[in-house]
Amino acid sequence: MEKQPQNKRRGLAPREVPPAVGLLLIMALMNTLLYLCLDHFFIAPRQSIVDPRHCPYGHFRIGQMKNCSPWLSCEELRTEVRQLKRVGEGAVKRVFLSEWKEHKVALSRLTSLEMKDDFLHGLQMLKSLQGAHVVTLLGYCEDDNTILTEYHPLGSLSNLEETLNLSKYQNVNTWQHRLQLAMDYVSIINYLHHSPMGTRVMCDSNDLPKTLSQYLLTSNFSILANDLDALPLVNHSSGTLVKCGHRELHGDFVAPEQLWPYGEDMPFRDNLMPSYDEKIDIWKIPDISSFLLGHIEGSDMVRFHLFDIHKACKSQTPSERPTAQDVLETYQKVLDTLRDAVMSQAREML
Ligand SMILES: Nc1ncnc2c1ncn2[C@@H]1O[C@H](COP(=O)(O)OP(=O)(O)OP(=O)(O)O)[C@@H](O)[C@H]1O
Ligand SMILES: *[C@@H]1O[C@H](CO)[C@@H](O)[C@H](O)[C@H]1NC(C)=O
Ligand SMILES: *[C@@H]1O[C@H](CO)[C@@H](O)[C@H](O)[C@H]1NC(C)=O
Ligand SMILES: *[C@@H]1O[C@H](CO)[C@@H](O)[C@H](O)[C@H]1NC(C)=O
């Protein structure tokens, strides 16, 4: 009789404790799993900035290629590349979907000899700025005025809405992926402002459609700079500033310092037009990011969180605008904050 309670306790204890511990363990496991799933679902793993597929200068690797190959020569471009169909045309280049070996490639041909300087500048930039932010160069032939690059079937960023509207891409049409695209875009601007060729300004961007057409959307839903035909150099230590073209610009997509400052009474004269710096790219970030965020569930919540940094980008005084690096850091913080909020909400629902 004296031993029974003890026995009972001993007998009960092993039975009572394991279910409780087990339940806790299962809950912990579910939380961890959920955490990992959410993380994976909301923020797809991205390529790191240090590209593991990086090739030495003058070489490339695309698709399933095991090794880096030297840029193709005129001879190779003429004999090994089969032109299929035209996929795009701008002021400088006519672009054809083409085939090289088993790869889909983009063959760009100069449209008119008048544009040769822009074409050569673009080629020089393409050669010098190869890396994770720029379309891969496969070869070129200055004698034939041709450039061969990797082909991206989703085309330019102008097609983003139509592409994300397709039912097969509904899973990436989320504010998380769209904010990630905006981060890609600002990363490219940041790269151009700190490039191996100095501070470069994306001049070919006097309106939103034009700006979007300079970038490609990859099948992995990241953004690459593609058209580098107008990237003049800013050098603050030597006082070198830029002007995007020789014509008068209008509208509020371009930065205020790009507008003719002397009023309507005085006709525009290029030599009187003041030059400016890379902060014109910062002015344009809110408009491009807003396009990238689109109008889906969550877009406006993200826009609300980006309000202050975007307001700073729109400072009338260029030097008061943040750097691309500042903008990128703020975007990252907003992404982290909103992701944590979504995850704690999801955990509460358990
Ligand atoms: N590698 C590629 N993969 C898929 N589409 C491409 C590729 N390169 C170019 N295109 C398409 O061709 C269009 C024109 O190309 P690109 O911008 O290089 O021409 P451009 O003459 O330099 O244009 P611009 O008038 O802006 O100077 C792009 O907007 C894009 O739609
Ligand atoms: C998206 O798809 C819907 C229905 O399929 C269509 O009504 C709408 O116009 C499309 N929008 C765009 C931008 O393509
Ligand atoms: C910028 O100008 C300084 C001073 O003239 C010069 O030393 C430097 O090399 C220039 N930088 C670039 C990227 O051209
Ligand atoms: C895109 O993703 C696929 C598979 O996830 C990968 O093999 C490929 O290298 C990626 N391409 C780029 C350009 O990142």
Tens digits of residue pLDDT in 197-249: 999 999 999 999 999 999 999 999 999 999 999 999 999 999 999 999 999 99
Say yes or no: CB of residue 153 within 6 Å of ligand 4.
no
Say yes or no: CB of residue 296 within 6 Å of ligand 2.
no
Residues 6+ apart with CB under 8 A from 93: 108, 109, 110, 111, 119, 122, 147, 227
Per-residue pLDDT band at 8 (split at 50, 70, 90): very low
- Asked whether the predicted pLDDT for residue 14 surpasses 80, the reply is no
pLDDT number for residue 27: 66
Say yes or no: CB of residue 220 within 6 Å of ligand 4.
yes
Query: pLDDT by residue (tens digit) across 289-344?
Result: 999 999 999 999 999 999 999 999 999 999 999 999 999 999 999 999 998 888 88
CB 42 within 8 A of CB 302: no
Closest ligand 1 atom, residue 213 Cα? 29
Query: pLDDT by residue (tens digit) across 144-165?
Result: 999 999 999 999 999 999 999 9
**Alpha carbon of 61 to ligand 1 centroid (Å):** 21
Instruction: Return the ∠ at Cα 67 (arms to 136 and 226), rounded to 5°.
Output: 0
Nearest in space to 186 (alpha carbons), one of 54, 339, 309, 50: 309
| Sequence letter at residue 120 | L
Burial class of residue 12 (count of CB atoms within 10 Å of its CB; 0-12, 13-18, 19+) = exposed
pTM of the full predicted structure? 0.85
Mean pLDDT of 56-70: 96
Mean pLDDT of 14-20: 54
State the ligand closest to the CA atom of 245: 1
**Alpha carbon of 165 to ligand 2 centroid (Å):** 6
Per-residue pLDDT band at 13 (split at 50, 70, 90): very low
Q: If you take atom 12 of ligand 3, which residue's CA is the nearest one? A: 198
Distance CA 200, CA 71 (A): 24
From residue 201, alpha-carbon distances to 37, 115, 289, 345 in Å are: 39, 19, 18, 42
pLDDT number for residue 345: 80
Mean pLDDT, the chain, rounded, equals 90
Say yes or no: CB of residue 61 within 6 Å of ligand 4.
no
Instruction: Return the ∠ at Cα 62 (arms to 49 and 163), rounded to 5°.
Output: 75
Give the chain's domains with CATH numbers.
72-148 (3.30.200.20), 153-338 (1.10.510.10)
* Percentage of the residues of the chain whose pLDDT score is greater than 90: 81
Distance CA 32, CA 194 (A): 39
State both tokens at 134: 């720029």
Q: If you take atom 10 of ligand 4, which residue's CA is the nearest one? A: 220
CB 254 within 8 A of CB 294: no
Task: Considering only residues 7 and 53, tell me which one the structure prediction assigns the higher pLDDT.
Answer: 53
**Alpha carbon of 220 to ligand 4 centroid (Å):** 6
pLDDT number for residue 41: 47
